[in-house]
Amino acid sequence: MTLGIRITFLVGAAAALAGCDQQSDVDRAMRNINVVDETNMNDIMLTVADPNEAVAYFQRATAEQPDRIDLQRGLAASLVRAGRATEAVIAWERVTSNPEATDQDRIDHAGALIRDSQWDEAEVMLDSVPPTVETFDRYRYEAMVADANEEWTRADSFYEIALGLTTTPAGILNNWGFSKLTRGDFEGAERLFTEAITYNPDLFTAKNNLVLARASRGNYNLPLVPMTQVERAELLHTAALAAIRRGDVDVGRGLLAEAIDTHPQHFEAAVRALRALDADVVN
């Protein structure tokens, strides 16, 4: 081969290799972009997307790539968001049986079991998590399991620990208050519900529970907390039903009438309750 031919060949080969390198770089870049896009999509599906749409998305993804634990995890989490607890438990079982499963997976599995009222199984799952794993979710679920077992001292301890591990304490204060309400500590429950509302004035569940705690002690006056007109009507309805259950029928009738007058629209639930009460009196 002459020198000129060899030079031409080498230049061509170098150009070809350079082209291959450039193409490899492009392929790698595209793969990276696809991974980023998929990660973003997964995050969107687990946060702001419609829960049932998220379930459908992860069902398709896991069918296409069944060995991906992150997609299995996404499916399990999306089923929890969609309120499909029984299916979520099955999905989390697939995740936690995977050798790549983490302690957080086991904690999330316990949460799904609690939502499906499988308390014993949830306790077993939480016991499989090393005690060195100290997270908000872990202690929140431990407290709920202790509540189910009526282990009140343990429950209080876990609620207190969980409270120190979150920057948004309204939810855990409401749960702790409901625990107190369940065990008959109405004063303690009222204090915790009130504190929950100070952290989140929009938490209607805590407002409703606060009315129940006060009504349990015969106090049917609405608490001085922020409330819309609709919320006021609904809380009056709650107080009315609590009064009727306690035997204070006349008080309950008056509260139902006030709830109906307060609600800006037709308050069907309160109307039905008042009609049933009047019919019972007539009979």
Q: Tell me the pLDDT of the chain (283 aa) as tens digits.
A: 544 444 343 344 444 444 445 555 544 544 444 544 666 777 788 787 788 898 999 999 999 999 999 999 999 999 999 999 999 999 999 999 999 999 999 999 999 999 999 999 999 999 999 999 999 999 999 999 999 999 999 999 999 999 999 999 999 999 999 999 999 999 999 999 999 999 999 999 999 999 999 999 999 999 999 999 999 999 999 999 999 999 999 999 999 999 999 999 999 999 999 998 887 655 5
* Domains 43-116 and 134-223 agree in fold: yes
Q: Which long-range contacts (CB under 8 A, 24 or more apart) does 242-247 make?
A: 242/211, 242/212, 242/215, 242/216, 243/215, 244/277, 246/215, 246/216, 246/218
CA distance 50 to 58: 12
Q: Judge contact between 172 and 162, C-beta under 8 A.
A: yes
| CATH entry, 43-116, from 1.10.20, 1.25.40, 1.10.3470, 3.10.450 | 1.25.40
CA distance 216 to 274: 21
**Token duo for residue 193:** 């519900």
Domain extent listing, the chain: 43-116, 134-223, 228-283
The CATH homologous superfamily to which domain 134-223 belongs is Tetratricopeptide repeat domain (1.25.40.10)
Altogether, the residues listed in the chain come to a count of 283
